[in-house]
Structures are given as structure tokens and as C-alpha cells.
Amino acid sequence: MIVDFESALTALPEDMYSSFAYIITRVIDGKRVTGPLGYDQICYKDLNVDSVPIVTLRFDGGDIEVSPVNLFMEVQKGVSCMIIISTEDMGMLGNLVQRNLMVGFDLVKRKIYFKPTDCSMK
């Protein structure tokens, strides 16, 4: 998976995405709508963020807990879409999922580290 600080959306390979999408749509109680962005996104009208679970992305060597506000974004008045989409290519961790995470790279050991933080704090 590529860690991308410039791309907003996170992309999962199709097989992973379809399993993830199936589960997330079963858990969230809401009215599904077509998203306005042109992607095959999971979108809801008047989404109750309290119905969105915390999602854990599991990586070799560590996990990232993705809060509901980092999983869905209001893309137009009253329409919120999941910021994770499907791709035919390699997966990509976009910057919206990375909000409030410090990301560290150890180039010698070829490791990446994620640490939850409050980026609004000075």
C-alpha cells in the first residue's frame, strides 16, 4: 500500500474493498444515495455519525484506528460519502484517513509508524 499525503481518498484493491463495503453497509443504518463525485462511493443522506463504527486498518507491524469523521465526509449539503474507494491497482492510504496521525518513516529499516495525535493542539 502506498502512503500518499497529496491524495484525499483512500483506495483499496477490489477484493478487499468489496468485503469492506459489504460489512460497512450492513453496520450503518441510513438511507443510501448516489454520490455526486462520480466514484462508486458509499454515500448516505443525513448520515448519523454515531452509527458509523471505528474501523481498524491492519498492517504488518501495526494498526490504524479510523474514526467516523475520518471515514465519511459531507460532500454536499446532507450527503456524506465514505472516503474509501475501490481500485484495480495497488492500495493507497489517502490524507483524509491520515488526519490526526503522526506518520514516521524509518528508511533504514523500511518501516512506517503511525501515532494518533490531536493536530489541533499547538
At 14 the pLDDT is 93
For the cut 80, the answer to whether the pLDDT of residue 61 exceeds it is no
Q: How many helices (H) and strands (E) does the chain have?
A: 2, 12
Q: What is the pTM of this model?
A: 0.84
Q: Which residues contact 108 (CB under 8 A, 6 or more apart)?
A: none
For the cut 80, the answer to whether the pLDDT of residue 88 exceeds it is yes
For the cut 80, the answer to whether the pLDDT of residue 60 exceeds it is no
Contact between 4 and 19 (Cβ < 8 Å) = no
At 51 the pLDDT is 87
At 121 the pLDDT is 76
Q: Which three cell numbers stand for residue 121?
A: 493542539
For the cut 70, the answer to whether the pLDDT of residue 25 exceeds it is yes
What's the CATH code, domain 2-116?
2.40.70.10
Structural Rg of the chain based on CA atoms? 15
> Which of 97, 26, 108, 89 lies closest to 55 in space, CA to CA?
97
